[in-house]
Amino acid sequence: MEILHFRAAGVSVVIECPPDALPAILHWGPDLGPLDDAALACLSAGLRPRPDVSVDVPVRVPLVPEARTGWMGLPGLSGHHMGQNWSPAFTSVDYRRTGRTLTATARDEHARLGLTIVAELGDSGLLRARADLRNESGSPYALDALNLAFPVPGTPTDLFDQAGRWAKERIPQRRPLTTGVHLRENRRGRTGPDAATVLFAGTSDLGFRRGEAWGLHVGFSGNHRHYAERTSSGRTMLGGGELLLPGEVILAPGESYQGPWLYATYGRGLDAAAGRFHEHLRARPAHPSTPRPVMLNTWEAVYFDHDLDRLLELADRAARVGVERFVLDDGWFHGRRDARAGLGDWTVDATVWPDGLTPLVKRVRELGMQFGLWFEPEMINPDSDLARAHPGWIMQTGDRLPPPARDQQVLDLTNPEAYAYVRTRLLAVISEYDLDFIKWDHNRDLVDAGSTARGGRASVHAQTHAVYRLLDEIRAEHPRLEIESCSGGGGRVDLGILERTDRVWASDCIDPAERQQIMRWTGQLLPPELIGSHIGADRSHTTGRRHDLAFRAATAFFGHYGIEWDLTSLTDGELDDLASWVALHKRHRHLLHSGVVVRVDDAPESVQAHGVVAADASEAIYEIAMLERPSTWPPGQLRLPGLDPATVYSVRPLMPVTSHGSAPAWTSGDFALPGSALAASGIAVPPLFPDESVLVHVVATSRP
């Protein structure tokens, strides 16, 4: 039996590969160092469990757990041939290793099922795996579930994941890891604002810079599940996969099902675990390679009021403050005067735009800006020409339509005619205006998502893959085009959609007090350059709260910077202030969008802090935010993590600090300390009011 040892970036993965059974991970976690075959054999023997009271042989738990081994936890594969072959036994397995990638091709000769498992350890230390199932029999196979599971050692005591709702996404939650199953199911037909995002098992001391964390992310944009399971025998597993609806996948003879990639990250602290995702994404060939253009999106500036003269003035002012991409949001297409009509009729509304979008597009490009447009291609309003002509193109099952949401339904992209229509219309508009950018929205859940083209069968799986195919084909036709995944704000944030898009819209809420948390925890999966982060008006559209420009601009500073604000309402002085923030971001966006994300564990009461440190630790920018009134004053000391201990750094504010009391010495310039002192002792937090923040610029002045 071969035992493989993959190592990368401080992570080891040891996989046992018997010829008569599926591969099983023996170790996933900290680097074990170089191990020869004898050491690997000892490791395997030492980790093989003794027989317990269930069966008289050691119970193996492979990447796709099998009930037939005596495993009493959740099985990986669930399905049947009309009630037969419900407990498969894959006892014939071929293995192929290429670098740090293992491909296992297995067969159950009796059930006539084939299973392929691919597992690979990337350069960042991120482990990913997926499984494909083939029906090699002469009868249909009803697939209920195909999940993968990764073993976690006995040290974790806590579970950590995320929840949330519209306009308050990715809220962290923590609980004890106990015997049983912690199950997070996403049944919205798209990754929801309440998704787990990454499910972690961690040690009791887990924080951003301490403890140990094993995390799992399901990279799929439809229904999916994450779970953590601890059995009475002491085994702990993190697992997940696509969540299939009843009868959704029935494999005809010779057909295959390919499951999504599952991504597994290990780190000493949540920052290290997040960093593996960030490095993996940044290493992709399709990762955005140019500076992220500062953009203005028109939604909170004009809503549905599309008046050419007003939009031309908005474009002029956007260019004045340094905007590089101008995006026209909802309301440009036929019949779209409010949210109740028009979705599906993807032609420019001649009553509002008698000369098409050309006058606006021409002016935007004359001003040196790119031009982008909003679409919601997967949706349809019943009040649309498309719905009236093709009512059967609405996703539905039984004898009823799903309940409406936002006066809209879901367009059935599994229907070849509906798919061809949307593809043709989108490509026509993209080509006519040579679009640089699409904001691709998705504003409702998939309820009763059946397809009339498929006899009313559940079709979330097929719909999700149709969307993937549509995105892939549009990108192939227009490789320069960038696409944002927006889904009712911060839904559909996952690595499946990010194989095809260039950023996500983290939330419809751009109130900076809320965005402090949303940006902080979206960063557990995504690096800053992939997270749309905009400056809104002084009064928030979603919360009604008011904040100063400095807090709004500093909160948005680290992401893909943008503006969501009616600039025609600003005075010349306000435009100049905004322009200074845009210019500041442009001067530092290379660092912000390439450096290592750090978040501070032990901030003083009511203070939250985070930053980005250059890969070579030569420079860093931190934000210190006061979120509430603390019970003690002055606020106290804040440690600055992530710097090189032996390097001496100058510390100064990036923008002038408004201090309500005696300002700390570092705010006046001429202040330098080694990285070891900044990490251990830190700097004094300025006396800030709630909902104020300061940006701290740390630059190496003397290196060993």
Q: Which residues are catalytic?
A: 441, 508
CA distances from 196 to 160, 171, 456, 520, 522 (A): 9, 9, 30, 15, 11
237: nearest Cα among 177, 297, 313, 287: 177
225: nearest Cα among 15, 460, 398, 411: 460
Sign of CA dihedral 513, 516, 518, 519: positive
406: nearest Cα among 445, 375, 349: 445
The residue type found at 297 is N
Q: At 318, list the tokens.
A: 């956007």
673: nearest Cα among 654, 652, 694, 695: 652
Q: Residue 656: which residues within 8 A CB-CB, separation 6 or more?
A: none
**Cis amide linkage into residue 634, ω under 30° from 0:** yes
CB 122 within 8 A of CB 283: yes
Q: How far apart are CA 563 and CA 555, in angstroms?
A: 12
Q: How far apart are CA 684 and CA 120, in angstroms?
A: 45
Q: How many helices (H) and strands (E) does the chain have?
A: 12, 40
Q: How far apart are CA 393 and CA 410, in angstroms?
A: 9
Q: How far apart are CA 348 and CA 367, in angstroms?
A: 23
Residue 661 has a CB neighbour count (10 Å cut-off) of 11
CB 22 within 8 A of CB 93: yes
Q: How far apart are CA 399 and CA 396, in angstroms?
A: 8
199: nearest Cα among 156, 162, 163: 162
Q: Please name every residue paired with 251 in a beta bridge, in sequence order, or none if there are none.
A: 141
